[in-house]
């Protein structure tokens, strides 16, 4: 199979779909990998490293897209990339279609087969291709939140961990899944006073066993969220409904009860965000202020630590890329129900119910493609 790896073009996105070690695995199996020249340069992966792994370098991105049977990326294709997609082509990347009608319509119009990292499942449960980036985003959230709390950044001028004789910042984390639990670990390590809210008793028990009395856990209700938000110096939104738009847990009225200069970090922004006042931002302009509250809503947070993120992502995606290349997408999805869960768009049809519901569009059950 001919596999294309384009350079990412989203704002300040330096991750790359395949690292040389992954390319070597593919070329050893007889596949041809074409990498856009300079694709890994910003994270210390030189073109010669790809050539040593057996890849062919391509300067012309249009030629790369045109010639590839399988495109492996990191972020959702931007508008100019979507124009290069064609039918009978397979796209394997993060898509996050539920909050993005324009992308959904373009992918449908392309006729391509589009498999989303974020909805691939695992035999034991969970989302194995989303997990590494959720871990990164969770660990980044207290770090960027602490920075935004600095007075020069528009924040309250509060040190997250405090100092002897001065209380630490209060951090509220909405959601105790992968991102939320990693955010809690870092925030506690920085010395903050941390509360995690979640609707699942099992999640709250797990967090209690993991962190003990250092971490406060609360069952998430509207009132509990409102009270936690009002107390917090930093609120981290880490809720996830797989494939669907994130629920808006914090209303603008709740936001108005927060301390002036408090900070919200919305990890859920890829799926639309969990604050009513959230809108996607970029690493070039990461924050904005609403009602005196600093909002950090960067839609590709892990891109800030692009080298770490790229290798972590490749560790998770490589087995699925190998399956798609070795078997072709039809056999690979037929053989693996968990990879099949990643299929969002095929031949002009939606096959992911949460995305269809988000946009009020018709959809076809994915199982019907393999019956």
Task: With both helix axes pointing from N to C terminus, report the angle between 20-28 and 306-327 in degrees, rounded to the nearest 10.
Answer: 10
Residue with tokens 């969970």, as numbered in its chain: 126
**Are 303 and 94 a contacting pair, CB within 8 Å?**
no
Q: Give the whole-angstrom CA distance, residue 262 versus residue 195.
A: 16
Helix (H, G, I), strand (E, B) or coil at 156: coil
β-bridge mates for residue 163, sequence order: 166
DSSP letter at 194?
E
Could you confirm whether 182 is annotated as catalytic? no
Q: Which position among 31, 96, 295, 346 bears the catalytic label?
A: 96
- The answer to whether the Cα torsion of 273, 279, 280, 286 is positive or negative is negative
Nearest to 7 by CA among 54, 77, 83: 77
**Are 250 and 275 a contacting pair, CB within 8 Å?**
yes
Give the pair of three-digit tokens for residue 76. 């959702």
Q: Which position among 106, 270, 336, 346 bears the catalytic label?
A: 270
Give the pair of three-digit tokens for residue 311. 């290798």
> Residues with Cβ < 8 Å from 165, sequence gap 6 or more?
none
Q: Give the whole-angstrom CA distance, residue 12 versus residue 14.
A: 6
Give the pair of three-digit tokens for residue 304. 């800030």
In three-state form (DSSP H/G/I as H, E/B as E, the rest C), the secondary structure along 25-77 is HHHHCCCEEEEECCCCHHHCCCHHHHHHCCCEEECCHHHHHHHCCEEECCCCC
Could you confirm whether 47 is annotated as catalytic? no
The catalytic residues are 96, 270
């Amino acid at each position: 199979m001919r596999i294309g790896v384009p350079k990412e073009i989203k704002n300040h996105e330096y991750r790359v779909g395949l690292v040389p070690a992954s390319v070597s695995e593919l070329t050893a199996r007889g596949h041809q990998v074409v990498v856009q020249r300079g694709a890994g340069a910003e994270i210390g992966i030189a073109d010669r490293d790809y050539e040593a792994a057996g890849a062919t370098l391509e300067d012309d991105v249009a030629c790369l897209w045109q010639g590839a049977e399988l495109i492996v990326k990191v972020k959702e294709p931007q508008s100019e990339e979507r124009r290069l997609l064609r039918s009978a082509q397979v796209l394997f990347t993060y898509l996050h279609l539920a909050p993005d009608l324009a992308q959904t319509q373009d992918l449908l119009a392309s006729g391509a087969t589009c498999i989303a990292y974020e909805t691939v499942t695992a035999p034991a449960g969970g989302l194995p291709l989303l997990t590494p980036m959720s871990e990164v985003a969770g660990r980044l959230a207290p770090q960027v939140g602490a920075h935004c709390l600095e007075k020069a950044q528009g924040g309250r001028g509060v040190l997250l961990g405090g100092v002897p004789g001065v209380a630490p910042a209060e951090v509220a984390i909405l959601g105790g899944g992968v991102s939320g639990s990693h955010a809690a670990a870092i925030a506690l390590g920085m010395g903050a006073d941390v509360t995690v809210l979640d609707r699942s008793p099992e999640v709250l028990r797990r967090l209690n066993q993991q962190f003990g009395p250092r971490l406060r856990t609360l069952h998430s209700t509207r009132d509990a969220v409102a009270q936690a938000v009002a107390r917090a110096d930093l609120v981290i939104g880490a809720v996830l409904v797989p494939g669907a738009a994130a629920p808006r847990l914090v209303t603008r009225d709740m936001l108005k009860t927060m301390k002036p200069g408090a900070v919200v970090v919305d990890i859920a922004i890829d799926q639309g965000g969990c604050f009513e006042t959230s809108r996607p931002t970029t690493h070039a302009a990461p924050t904005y202020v609403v009602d005196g509250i600093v909002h950090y809503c960067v839609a590709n947070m892990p891109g800030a630590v692009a080298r770490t993120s790229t290798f972590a992502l490749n560790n998770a995606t490589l087995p699925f890329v190998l399956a798609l290349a070795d078997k072709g997408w039809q056999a690979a999805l037929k053989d693996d129900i968990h990879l099949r869960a990643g299929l969002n768009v095929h031949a002009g049809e939606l096959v992911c119910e949460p995305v269809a519901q988000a946009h009020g569009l018709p959809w076809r059950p994915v199982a019907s493609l393999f019956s």
